[in-house]
A and B are shown apart, each in its own frame.
Chain A
Amino acid sequence: MDTPSLSGSAASGGRLLHLHRSGGSSFRRRLRPGGGASEAGTPLGGVSYVSTPIPDDDAFDVGADKYLLAKTYFDCREYRRAAHVLRGQAGRKAVFLRCYALYTAGEKRKEEETIELEGSLGKSNAINQELVALERELSTHRRTGAIDSFGLYLYGIVLRDKDCEGLARTVLVESVNSYPWNWSAWLELQSLCTSSDILNNLNLKNHWMKDFFLASAHLELKMHEEALKRYECLMRVFRCSDYIQAQIATVQYSMRDLDEADMIFEELLRTDPFRVDSMDVYSNLLYAKESSTALSFLAHRVFLTDKYRPESCCIIANYYSLKGQHEKSVLYFQRALKLNRKYLSAWTLMGHEFVELKNTPAAIDAYRRAVDINPRDYRAWYGLGQIYEMMGMPFYGLYYFRKSSYLQPNDARPWNAMAQCYESDQLQMIEEAIKCYERSANSNDTEGIALHQLGKLHSMLGQSEEAAFYYKKDLERIEAEERQGQNFVEALLFLAKYCKNIGRFEEAELYCTKLLDYTGPENETAKIFCKG
């Protein structure tokens, strides 16, 4: 069940095929009763699932030798040779293997060409030369019905590469409906579901693999609660699945539940010490918790396991970043990006590093590439906004914060950033700032900036009633979190003054006594208040 969540279809030909690796059909025949049993043994909360469809295989005798020879060539990565061996074979499996070999060969050549054709005006977009022919052949097969689910899967990929997304989705749905255990097909389908509307409109059979798919898709679409719920359900059935565990940890990290996620990841590493998948998320988590020892340990471990995985490079880069060695960090991010040009979080994180290095053009470039790969990456938008704000261009930066908050409307941070732009010295648009802070305060601002700023801005505008309201709320929050600081003192001071002015002396006295616990000029002011 453990499949890399980031595997691009291009690079991982060998890995994608592992579900099909059994070669002979005997293995699968053996598996079928098992599959039935697991299906019988997994009544998830009374949901009725469809029985697993049984793919009808060709008679294995026809061209079996050739198939085996081709399979061996394929495993030796001699794709064209494999395809050549299978020419003229009409069996479904043979057709699939031949097409798949051709596709892989084309992908390989494409990757090579991308480097070869790089000119002064940037990389030319090499295309997989086989796509046209493959599409034609596979569509014919699909029309005549002479295609199995794997062929459909391949057809789906080809269609996706040719930018026919709608048809690609339909074909992939057909594929997973006829053979639900091809996780690669699910993943391709997931990458084509860019909004929850599309996801909900898929015509999927109610197989339990669908739960895995939906959970993963929800995670991708940032619908964390739904994802978590589904994964927890699945966890009850597949108790030992570390994939599900890793996904749960990822969800929890995304929901900022760091400690819980940390625990799960630690557990995962104990049971599966050579794991690299999802470990970049873990490293992000460790980075956020600033535990450099654990991060260095993790980096060391993945480095020994497989240093040429983008995830490994990312982990090492995170470590250097935590250590403040940003040049090295950038170096490793660049390596990760060389291994996978579409590694989204690496672009964003590299942008952060460039910010640290004060190399703003490079940072902007990195963030912008992240955004162009995935326009829904709110962190990169946020980063762009931050850079422009730092450069003293708050008005220009507003555009980016607006984008970010549009994507993440319930996150307080973009709203806070927007508000800060508005109230900056340059813009001084206080009313707009107040609107943003209100929005932020309503969406559970954990950093507690919004309430305090609201109080401050309202008092600046002379609206002391509103100011008092927000200061009081801020006070409650600070007291609940048992923190203290300058904000606390400011709030107390304002409230004391305010209550005194409107004649609520008892309340004022209460605030003053609280103030007396602090040293500093406010203490003196409080004393004066008490006397007066």
Chain B
Amino acid sequence: MNVFAGVGGGAVGKEAASVGGGALLEVTPHKLAVCHLVQIFAPPPPQAGVAAPALPFPFESVAHHNRLGLFLFALTRSCEDFLEPPLEELLRQLKAVDSLVNGWLCQQLTSTLSVLNSPDDLFNFFDKLRGVLSAPEGANVEDEFLDPNSQLGVFLRCCILSFNTMAFEGVCHLLANLVEYCNSSETSYDFAEDEAFNSEIEMSNFMDANIHVRDAIFDKYSKGYAPESHMGEGSSSLVHASTSLHDFDEGIFKAEDNPDCLRSRWQLEAYLNQQADILEKDPSLVPLNSFNATMSQLQALAPELHRVQFLQYLNALTHDDYIAALDNLHRYFDYSAGMQGIFSRSSSSFQDIIVGKYESALLCLGNLHCYFGHPKKALEAFTEAVRVSQMNNDDSCLAYILGAISNLLSKIGMSSTIGTIGSPYSLGNNIGLGTPLSIQQQLLVLLKRSLKRADTLKLTSLVSFDHLSLAKFDLKHVQRPLVSFGPNAYTKLRTCPADVCKNLRLSSHVLTDFGVDGLSASSDNGSFSTSWLRNLSAASNSWCSSSTKSRKVLTNDFDNFHFHAQPSPIPAAVLQLAGSAYLLRATAWEHYGSAPMVRMNSLVYATCFADAASSSELSLAYVKLIQHLAAFKGYSAAFSALKLAEEKFPSTANSHIQLLKMQLLHERALHRGQLKIAQQICDEFGVLSSSVSGVDIELKTEASLRHARTLLAAKQFSQAANVANSLFSTCYKYNMQVENANVLLLLAEIHKNSDNAVLGLPYALASQSFCKSFNLDLLEASATLTLAELWLALGSTHAKRALSLACQSLPMILGHGGMELRARAHIVLAKCHLSDPKFKVTEDPCSVLDPLNQAVEDLQVLEYHEMAAEAYYLKALVYNNLGKLDEREEAAASFREHTIALENPYNEADSLSY
């Protein structure tokens, strides 16, 4: 029964390797304590011939024994902090583990540690430890002993080795630290010993204990030069005569703090990785300055651990501190000379994977500029990175750089008219094609190139990322062959949804293939141990402070984890990538116009990938769900959901939620006819985006689109048309064809509403053809609907054609469209019938009344006064024709109601709240 034999076999091997590389852990009092516990856990085997007991002495059951083992394992792996916990903390945790033998372990531990008084004691202690590891002669596998290659075995060996290489001064320091370590917890230990207490006695005990200790320390110091006092104390003894007792106490307790002992290197790196993950997930959780203070504290203790500077860079970056980010970035890469790399997660043995050196510095620099919206600088940095990595034959870094460049190109609107990539040494040439390419073509070439490279280098995460980017590209761009030969070359100018689906599917392969590239290999990053310990201390804390009743519940329960504490076999980074595929799927369906699919994919993302997701991505999924609600259930439902979402993402900086709120408010204001408010929100929209041209291009587009719509609602047709026209030219300049379809449709609407149906027709047709080539089915249906309206406006002779167009769009709209679109379709349908001279209402009233009733229902939920009024008007007409006067009056009254509401938008004040 080898205890923990081969726990995570590979990981241990790696650990040992990294230990051999000079990253010895240093022996600290805390580690001494753990060593001692290991010794109790797996005592030295008895001499051959003596029958070993089934369980070592203090343990009552196998479960009990295993629990201590798990605890020790967690202690050596946890990465909650960079400093080791004080003895007090350790004892508290130990008490929670060892509830069965009444604190025997704690007593044992403290007594052993306090007996270590001289260097010789330490030597003997380690001598005894050595016995734990050596299997006795004639032992067989069945015997119980600690496997030297298990996690605990390696830990023990490291400690012994570290002690053996220690100079005498080091031993003295260890001893001094040990004394401090033991002293710092005298109080709480005494207090914790006290088993029988209720809360009042506990309190008084606590006070007493505190006072006792203060007295004890005071006594000790007033003795002057105690034999074991080397430093510090001497002067304190001289001082205390002249200072007040109060001051003195404060000072002593400061100085008497637990000695600052760092955890092992593995734990430190795990800690840093964890912090980096938190920063990435939700920067608002990490306050800028306090995190910086923590990091500088760590840096003071471990000046050669340069990754701390990288974390400081990340911190500054996520908090938008440009100068500090730049400084820390340069400092990190100067110091480590790139040798620590950025991608080397702890002890990766894949040396060729570690993207090291200066090209990664440039990669980071480029990303920094990209993040802060300096496309030109970012591109320069990336170009240089490409050059340097080619010079250094760093293929994997090159692949990453290409990925980053394509990310930049896709993210930041590059006007195709401005030669951003102009100089002969930059990318145009690297691509190897003589002819100048448009940005989009370059993007495609880069993506394919990066994908190919990543594929051959087996960088699975990058492959997945590139597939995602390709999917994104395919979604919005028509792929044209780069060089077409001859007149016969046939090009189909349409986007290809099949490609998008294929890429999304391939991207999800990362879920099965991860681990090959080594970056995402180590799934055990200490978080399991950390959360195990955290649960433990939470349990033991409440056990200490709350009543006995809850204690009973908790003491038996502490190792039942919460769900998220279970170690996931899939690394978070992989989960994140796989999750983005779902999010992108939702976006794709949004484009193609299938609301149920959007909802489904967003739901999958929000439920399955929420743990690994960054707050911004998760909020995006929520945004999609809420948008769906708004379109199908009306504003009140959407706003109540929004409230929940705002509670979940409390940071005001969360732009997705903020944007969504403004979108919803704007739409509601438009529907209600509150134009001033709509205009106000439009202005706010405009302020949100950066003033640099080419940056935040999507936001800017949306802002002016909404502006035009507001103007349209205010019947300022010529101005609306102007805004829409300039928006069209911007979109054209930045090659945003999908947005163009939208803008064209808007232009058609403007002309329709300004009674220029003839002028509107070409726009609607153009929009329709755009939609066709980009497979925007829902938008196409709505363009068709607009077309029908335009024909209708041309006179009753065109009613037939309008009707057929409306009918053509109906299946799509009724299947996937939101309430507004459905209502519009219904009204158009009714209007077509009514304006058809051959149509007799009296013969078939249902074909008109049914759609109108449907429309009225939807519009009332949406509070869309203008269209509701129209619907009621039509209804009144129909009833009039049918001779149903009561119903006619009712419809007319409703019509009046809505018209009044539209003309006198009431309670404007509350329309910004919800």
Contact = CB atoms under 8 A, between A and B. Distances in A.
Question: A and B bound?
Answer: yes
Interface of A: 80, 83-84, 87, 98, 102, 106, 109, 112-113, 116-117, 119-125, 129-130, 132-134, 136-137, 140, 360-361, 364-365, 367-368, 372, 384, 388, 391-396, 399-400, 425-428
B374 interface: no
A119 B26 contact: yes
A394 B380 CA distance: 10
B388 interface: yes
Interface in B235-276: 235-236, 238-239, 242-243, 247, 251, 254-255, 262, 265, 268
User: For chain B, which range describes its interface: under 10, 10 to 19, 20 to 34, or 35 or more residues?
Assistant: 35 or more
B26 A120 contact: yes
Contacts of A125: 300-301, 303
A425 B425 contact: yes
B362 A396 contact: yes
Given A368-B335, A392-B391, A116 B231 contact: no
B339 A361 contact: yes
A26 to B, nearest CB: 29
Contacts of A98: 238
Contact of A393 (B23, B167, B362): B362
A427 B380 contact: yes
B684 interface: no
Contacts of B23: 120
Question: Taking each of A106, A117, A395, which has the highest tally of chain B beta carbons within 10 Å of its own beta carbon?
Answer: A395
Interface in B11-50: 22-24, 26
A120 B165 CA distance: 12
B243 A136 contact: yes
A67 B365 CA distance: 62
Nearest to A144: B242
Given A102-B234, A121-B304, 16 more contacts: A109-B230, A116-B169, A120-B24, A120-B265, A120-B304, A122-B303, A124-B302, A130-B232, A140-B242, A368-B335, A392-B391, A393-B384, A395-B380, A396-B381, A399-B326, A426-B425
B330 A399 contact: yes
Contacts of A364: 334, 337
Given A391-B388, A426-B387, A116 B167 contact: yes
B483 to A, nearest CB: 28
B242 A122 contact: no
A381 B326 CA distance: 15
Contacts of B232: 129-130, 132-133
B22 A120 contact: yes
Contact of B255 (A113, A132, A392, A395): A132
B311 to A, nearest CB: 15
Nearest to A424: B425
A517 to B, nearest CB: 39
A102 B169 contact: no
Contacts of B334: 364-365, 367-368, 384
Interface string B293-327: 00000001111110000000000000000000010
A134 B235 contact: yes
Given A364-B337, A392-B391, A133 B304 contact: no
A137 B243 CA distance: 8
Contacts of A391: 358, 388
Contacts of A83: 234-235, 238
B907 interface: no
A133 B384 contact: no
Nearest to B377: A395
A361 B337 contact: yes
A509 to B, nearest CB: 39
A130 B235 contact: yes
B423 A428 contact: yes
A136 B492 CA distance: 84
Contacts of B24: 120
Contacts of A384: 334
Nearest to A400: B330
B384 A394 contact: yes
From DSSP, what is the main secondary structure of chain A's interface residues?
A: helix
B614 to A, nearest CB: 28
Interface in B217-243: 230-232, 234-236, 238-239, 242-243
Contacts of A425: 425
Contacts of B235: 83, 102, 130, 133-134, 137
Interface in B811-841: none
B337 A365 contact: yes
B239 A136 contact: yes
Nearest to B424: A428
Contacts, number: 124
Nearest to B234: A80
Question: Taking each of B26, B238, B262, B337, which has the highest tally of chain A beta carbons within 10 Å of its own beta carbon?
Answer: B238
Contacts of B304: 120-122
Contacts of B326: 399
A31 to B, nearest CB: 32
B173 interface: yes
A326 B388 CA distance: 27
Nearest to A124: B301
A82 to B, nearest CB: 12
Interface in B358-388: 358, 361-362, 365, 380-381, 383-384, 387-388
B170 A116 contact: yes
22 contacts: A83-B238, A112-B169, A120-B24, A120-B304, A121-B304, A122-B305, A129-B232, A130-B235, A133-B238, A134-B235, A137-B235, A137-B239, A368-B331, A368-B335, A391-B358, A393-B358, A395-B383, A396-B361, A425-B425, A426-B383, A426-B384, A426-B425
Question: Taking each of B331, B334, B388, B423, which has the highest tally of chain A beta carbons within 10 Å of its own beta carbon?
Answer: B334
Question: Taking each of A112, A136, A367, which has the highest tally of chain B beta carbons within 10 Å of its own beta carbon?
Answer: A136
Contact of B231 (A87, A106, A392, A428): A106
A365 B262 contact: no
Q: Give 10 nearest A-B pairs by CB, closest first.
A: A122-B304, A361-B337, A121-B302, A133-B235, A129-B232, A122-B303, A129-B231, A368-B334, A116-B169, A395-B384
Contact of B303 (A123, A360, A361): A123
A80 B232 CA distance: 11
Given A116-B173, A121-B303, A136-B251, A392 B337 contact: no
Question: Taking each of A130, A133, A372, A400, which has the highest tally of chain B beta carbons within 10 Å of its own beta carbon?
Answer: A133
B17 to A, nearest CB: 15
Nearest to B247: A136
B223 to A, nearest CB: 14
Contacts of A87: 238
A395 B167 contact: no
Interface in B389-408: 391
Contacts of A130: 231-232, 234-235
A106 to B, nearest CB: 7
Contacts of A400: 330
A171 B234 CA distance: 25
Nearest to A102: B235
A120 B302 CA distance: 9
A122 B302 contact: yes
Contacts of B384: 392-396, 426
A133 to B, nearest CB: 4
Contacts of B169: 112, 116
A365 B335 contact: yes
Contacts of A129: 231-232
B661 to A, nearest CB: 39
A224 to B, nearest CB: 28
Nearest to B243: A136
A116 B423 CA distance: 56
Contact of B242 (A137, A365, A368): A137
A123 B339 CA distance: 19
Contacts of B383: 395, 426
A101 B338 CA distance: 45
B236 A133 contact: yes
A109 B173 CA distance: 12
Nearest to B255: A132
A116 B168 CA distance: 9
